Amino acid sequence: MSTTHQQYDDGAPKGKSQGTLIMGTDGTLIQAVKVDSDGKLELSGIISATTGTEYADGAARGSAVGVLGMVDDGVNVQSMAGDSNGHPIVVLTAGSAAIGTVTMVKPVGFSPGIYNASAAQTDRELVAAPGASKALVITDIIISNDVASADGTIYFEEDTVGAKTAKTGLLSVLAGVGVPLLNLGSPIICATNKNFGYTSTLMTTHSVTVLGYVKDV
Protein backbone atom coordinates (compact mmCIF):
# COMPACT_ATOMS: atom_id res chain seq x y z
CA MET A 1 0.00 0.00 0.00
CA SER A 2 1.26 3.48 -0.86
CA THR A 3 2.32 5.68 2.05
CA THR A 4 1.79 8.92 0.13
CA HIS A 5 -1.28 10.63 -1.17
CA GLN A 6 -2.29 13.58 -3.31
CA GLN A 7 -3.24 16.81 -1.55
CA TYR A 8 -5.78 19.16 -3.18
CA ASP A 9 -6.00 22.84 -2.22
CA ASP A 10 -9.16 24.86 -2.75
CA GLY A 11 -8.97 26.56 -6.15
CA ALA A 12 -5.83 24.72 -7.27
CA PRO A 13 -5.61 23.28 -10.82
CA LYS A 14 -7.30 19.89 -10.76
CA GLY A 15 -4.30 17.88 -11.93
CA LYS A 16 -4.95 14.15 -12.11
CA SER A 17 -8.29 13.46 -10.42
CA GLN A 18 -8.34 9.67 -10.57
CA GLY A 19 -9.15 7.90 -7.29
CA THR A 20 -11.72 6.13 -5.10
CA LEU A 21 -14.25 8.38 -3.35
CA ILE A 22 -16.49 5.97 -1.42
CA MET A 23 -16.28 2.24 -0.68
CA GLY A 24 -18.71 -0.17 0.95
CA THR A 25 -19.58 -3.84 1.05
CA ASP A 26 -22.79 -5.38 -0.23
CA GLY A 27 -22.13 -8.55 1.78
CA THR A 28 -20.29 -10.24 -1.07
CA LEU A 29 -18.31 -7.61 -2.96
CA ILE A 30 -16.68 -4.31 -2.20
CA GLN A 31 -18.57 -1.63 -4.16
CA ALA A 32 -16.97 1.71 -4.95
CA VAL A 33 -17.66 5.18 -6.25
CA LYS A 34 -14.53 6.47 -7.93
CA VAL A 35 -13.19 8.90 -10.47
CA ASP A 36 -11.43 7.25 -13.41
CA SER A 37 -8.48 8.50 -15.45
CA ASP A 38 -10.61 10.73 -17.69
CA GLY A 39 -12.25 12.49 -14.75
CA LYS A 40 -15.63 10.74 -14.96
CA LEU A 41 -17.53 9.32 -12.01
CA GLU A 42 -17.66 5.52 -12.07
CA LEU A 43 -19.63 3.03 -9.97
CA SER A 44 -18.19 -0.47 -9.82
CA GLY A 45 -17.63 -3.66 -7.85
CA ILE A 46 -13.85 -3.70 -7.66
CA ILE A 47 -13.22 -7.26 -6.47
CA SER A 48 -14.74 -9.30 -9.28
CA ALA A 49 -15.42 -6.58 -11.83
CA THR A 50 -12.96 -4.34 -13.59
CA THR A 51 -15.44 -1.98 -15.18
CA GLY A 52 -18.44 -0.05 -13.97
CA THR A 53 -21.01 2.46 -15.12
CA GLU A 54 -19.67 5.91 -15.99
CA TYR A 55 -21.61 9.10 -15.40
CA ALA A 56 -20.46 12.21 -17.25
CA ASP A 57 -21.66 15.66 -16.21
CA GLY A 58 -24.78 16.51 -18.23
CA ALA A 59 -25.18 13.02 -19.71
CA ALA A 60 -28.60 11.40 -20.13
CA ARG A 61 -29.53 9.89 -16.78
CA GLY A 62 -30.00 6.26 -17.90
CA SER A 63 -31.06 3.93 -15.09
CA ALA A 64 -31.46 5.63 -11.71
CA VAL A 65 -31.34 2.43 -9.67
CA GLY A 66 -28.24 1.87 -7.55
CA VAL A 67 -26.53 2.30 -4.20
CA LEU A 68 -25.36 5.86 -3.51
CA GLY A 69 -23.72 5.43 -0.13
CA MET A 70 -23.25 2.80 2.57
CA VAL A 71 -22.37 2.82 6.26
CA ASP A 72 -21.77 0.14 8.88
CA ASP A 73 -23.76 0.85 12.08
CA GLY A 74 -21.75 -1.76 13.99
CA VAL A 75 -24.28 -4.52 13.37
CA ASN A 76 -25.69 -4.05 9.88
CA VAL A 77 -24.74 -2.22 6.70
CA GLN A 78 -27.21 0.59 6.04
CA SER A 79 -27.44 2.25 2.65
CA MET A 80 -28.82 5.13 0.64
CA ALA A 81 -29.91 4.09 -2.84
CA GLY A 82 -31.91 5.21 -5.86
CA ASP A 83 -35.16 3.37 -6.62
CA SER A 84 -36.63 2.60 -10.03
CA ASN A 85 -38.54 5.92 -10.03
CA GLY A 86 -35.34 7.91 -9.52
CA HIS A 87 -36.13 8.78 -5.91
CA PRO A 88 -33.38 8.63 -3.26
CA ILE A 89 -34.25 6.12 -0.55
CA VAL A 90 -32.70 5.11 2.76
CA VAL A 91 -32.76 1.33 3.15
CA LEU A 92 -32.91 0.06 6.74
CA THR A 93 -31.58 -3.48 7.13
CA ALA A 94 -31.24 -6.13 9.81
CA GLY A 95 -28.81 -8.84 8.76
CA SER A 96 -29.38 -9.51 5.07
CA ALA A 97 -33.07 -8.49 5.10
CA ALA A 98 -34.44 -5.01 4.43
CA ILE A 99 -36.81 -4.02 7.25
CA GLY A 100 -37.99 -0.76 5.73
CA THR A 101 -37.24 2.15 3.45
CA VAL A 102 -37.59 5.92 3.72
CA THR A 103 -38.25 7.58 0.36
CA MET A 104 -37.18 11.18 -0.19
CA VAL A 105 -39.39 12.83 -2.78
CA LYS A 106 -39.72 16.50 -3.60
CA PRO A 107 -43.34 17.41 -2.76
CA VAL A 108 -45.54 18.71 -5.58
CA GLY A 109 -47.83 21.58 -4.64
CA PHE A 110 -51.44 21.55 -5.83
CA SER A 111 -53.40 24.57 -7.03
CA PRO A 112 -55.06 26.28 -4.04
CA GLY A 113 -58.43 24.75 -3.20
CA ILE A 114 -60.83 27.72 -3.17
CA TYR A 115 -64.59 27.84 -2.80
CA ASN A 116 -66.71 31.00 -2.57
CA ALA A 117 -70.12 30.24 -1.12
CA SER A 118 -73.38 32.14 -0.63
CA ALA A 119 -74.85 29.58 1.76
CA ALA A 120 -73.76 26.88 4.20
CA GLN A 121 -72.18 23.88 2.49
CA THR A 122 -72.40 20.13 3.04
CA ASP A 123 -69.54 17.87 1.93
CA ARG A 124 -68.13 20.52 -0.42
CA GLU A 125 -64.98 19.40 -2.25
CA LEU A 126 -62.04 21.81 -2.17
CA VAL A 127 -59.22 19.67 -3.63
CA ALA A 128 -59.79 16.65 -5.86
CA ALA A 129 -58.36 13.22 -5.14
CA PRO A 130 -54.74 13.20 -6.40
CA GLY A 131 -54.68 9.75 -8.02
CA ALA A 132 -53.38 6.27 -7.23
CA SER A 133 -50.48 5.97 -4.76
CA LYS A 134 -50.70 9.68 -3.86
CA ALA A 135 -52.10 11.58 -0.90
CA LEU A 136 -53.02 15.19 -0.16
CA VAL A 137 -51.16 17.02 2.61
CA ILE A 138 -52.94 20.14 3.88
CA THR A 139 -50.65 22.80 5.39
CA ASP A 140 -52.74 26.01 5.53
CA ILE A 141 -56.44 26.90 5.79
CA ILE A 142 -58.00 30.36 5.32
CA ILE A 143 -61.66 31.03 6.16
CA SER A 144 -63.45 34.32 5.48
CA ASN A 145 -66.98 34.95 6.77
CA ASP A 146 -68.68 38.08 5.44
CA VAL A 147 -69.76 40.78 7.89
CA ALA A 148 -73.32 40.42 6.58
CA SER A 149 -73.24 36.67 7.20
CA ALA A 150 -74.08 34.91 10.46
CA ASP A 151 -71.83 33.29 13.04
CA GLY A 152 -71.37 29.67 12.08
CA THR A 153 -69.26 26.54 12.31
CA ILE A 154 -67.09 24.54 9.93
CA TYR A 155 -65.18 21.29 9.91
CA PHE A 156 -62.93 19.70 7.30
CA GLU A 157 -63.15 16.20 5.92
CA GLU A 158 -61.65 13.79 3.40
CA ASP A 159 -63.56 11.62 0.93
CA THR A 160 -66.57 13.93 0.67
CA VAL A 161 -68.41 11.48 -1.62
CA GLY A 162 -67.66 8.35 0.42
CA ALA A 163 -66.68 7.85 4.04
CA LYS A 164 -66.73 11.62 4.79
CA THR A 165 -64.05 11.22 7.45
CA ALA A 166 -63.63 14.29 9.65
CA LYS A 167 -60.05 15.63 9.68
CA THR A 168 -60.70 18.48 12.16
CA GLY A 169 -63.08 19.18 14.98
CA LEU A 170 -65.86 21.75 14.73
CA LEU A 171 -64.46 25.30 14.35
CA SER A 172 -66.47 28.40 15.31
CA VAL A 173 -66.40 31.17 12.68
CA LEU A 174 -67.62 34.65 13.60
CA ALA A 175 -69.31 36.90 11.07
CA GLY A 176 -66.95 39.56 9.76
CA VAL A 177 -63.94 37.76 11.22
CA GLY A 178 -63.39 34.23 9.94
CA VAL A 179 -60.02 32.56 10.36
CA PRO A 180 -57.45 34.73 8.50
CA LEU A 181 -54.80 31.98 8.40
CA LEU A 182 -54.65 28.60 10.09
CA ASN A 183 -51.05 27.42 9.61
CA LEU A 184 -50.85 23.76 10.53
CA GLY A 185 -47.59 22.98 12.30
CA SER A 186 -48.63 19.34 12.02
CA PRO A 187 -50.18 19.01 8.53
CA ILE A 188 -53.39 17.15 7.80
CA ILE A 189 -52.45 14.02 5.82
CA CYS A 190 -55.30 12.47 3.87
CA ALA A 191 -55.66 8.81 3.03
CA THR A 192 -54.38 7.60 -0.33
CA ASN A 193 -56.28 9.03 -3.31
CA LYS A 194 -58.95 10.82 -1.25
CA ASN A 195 -60.25 14.32 -1.84
CA PHE A 196 -60.50 17.10 0.77
CA GLY A 197 -63.43 19.35 1.57
CA TYR A 198 -65.61 20.84 4.27
CA THR A 199 -69.07 21.15 5.81
CA SER A 200 -70.33 24.46 7.25
CA THR A 201 -73.44 25.59 9.12
CA LEU A 202 -75.37 28.89 9.42
CA MET A 203 -72.86 30.97 7.45
CA THR A 204 -74.12 32.60 4.26
CA THR A 205 -71.51 34.52 2.25
CA HIS A 206 -68.14 32.96 3.05
CA SER A 207 -65.03 31.59 1.35
CA VAL A 208 -62.56 28.81 2.17
CA THR A 209 -59.02 28.35 0.83
CA VAL A 210 -56.67 25.44 1.51
CA LEU A 211 -53.00 25.08 0.55
CA GLY A 212 -50.69 22.10 0.62
CA TYR A 213 -48.99 19.52 -1.55
CA VAL A 214 -49.22 15.98 -2.90
CA LYS A 215 -46.97 13.20 -1.64
CA ASP A 216 -46.26 9.70 -2.92
CA VAL A 217 -47.36 6.86 -0.66
- In tens, the pLDDT along 42-94 reads 766 544 444 555 555 665 655 545 666 777 777 777 777 777 666 677 777 77
Output the pTM of the full model. Answer: 0.59
What percent of the chain shows pLDDT beyond 90? 43
Virtual torsion, Cα 33, 37, 40, 46, nearest 10 deg: -30
What SS3 class is residue 60? Answer: coil
- pLDDT bin (cut points 50, 70, 90) of residue 144 is very high
DSSP state of 171: E
- Report whether 93 contacts 199 (CB < 8 A): no
At 48, which amino acid appears? Answer: S
pLDDT at residue 28 greater than cutoff 90:
no
Residues of the chain with CATH 2.60.120.340: 108-216
Quote the Cα angle for 132-134-138, to 5°: 140
Level-2 CATH architecture, domain 108-216? Sandwich (2.60)
pLDDT confidence of residue 10:
60
